[in-house]
Amino acid sequence: MIVGLGNPGPAYVDTRHNAGFRVVDLLADELKVNYWKLAGDALMGVASCEGEKVVLLKPQSFMNLSGGPVKGALARLGLSAVDMLVIHDELDLSPGTLRLKLGGGAGGHKGLRSLHQALGSDYARLRVGIGRPPGRMDAADFVLARMKGSELEEFALTCARAAELARAALKDGILQAMNEHHAPEPAPAAPPAASSPEPAPAPNPAPPAPEPAPNPAPPAPPAPPAAPTPASSPAPDWPE
């Protein structure tokens, strides 16, 4: 049995708190559920998936009283809590994140708290991430605020993915769906190592610098000036 949590009535359409209702409605469309029966304060639809009978349930007693209608439906069908998957909004997951989970606490979710009080916690869940309210906005106001525009479009896409994951859980079982959905993506292959470029040829060595010329020999000292040649004296004129 697949249970979607939410609040009945047009005032709660397109609110984050009705993620469970929205996903179950998508499943009903995909599985060709044309008739909903009101039984024990819950809308119940019956379909076939992968050759198995599937019951879709939307409690109509408001979120914080979901436990009673769900418990009554299980009793009428001869099922127990371990036979159901509960779909609900989750503040502690970022918007668009989906997580399958087995057991655990209510985490402040009033619908889960009511289920715990009526049935215990031994059941599977599909948590639809809606993120935390901005700033100091109250969580109750946040989950009950009607979305518009791109925010509503993104929420619709998330719920469509949640419906696909719920069908995978029906087909393959909760554990296998968990393993496949939550498996880490393989790391991208490392790029091939670049081949080392061949070393560039060394440039022609520069010609050796010419050796410095030896210091020139100091110039020879100038020759001493030649001694003056004495002029020849005229012969004395002797008296005869």
Task: Indicate which residues carry an active-site annotation.
Answer: 17
CB of 141 closer than 8 Å to CB of 129: no
Return the structure tokens found at 211: 């050796």
CB of 6 closer than 8 Å to CB of 19: yes
d(CA 171, CA 121): 23
* 114, containing H or E segment: helix 110-119
DSSP-assigned letters across all residues of 182-214? HSPPPPPPPPPPPPPPPPPPPPPPPPPPPPPPP
Hey, is 161 helix, strand or coil?
A: helix
Query: Which of 23, 115, 12, 7 is closest to 61 using CA atoms?
Result: 7
d(CA 239, CA 202): 104
Return the structure tokens found at 76: 């009428």
CB of 162 closer than 8 Å to CB of 93: no
User: 């998957």: which residue's tokens?
Assistant: 85
- What distances in angstroms separate CA 133 from CA 39, 87, 92, 94, 162, one per listed residue? 35, 20, 11, 11, 21
* Phi–psi pair at 55, nearest 5 degrees: -105, 130
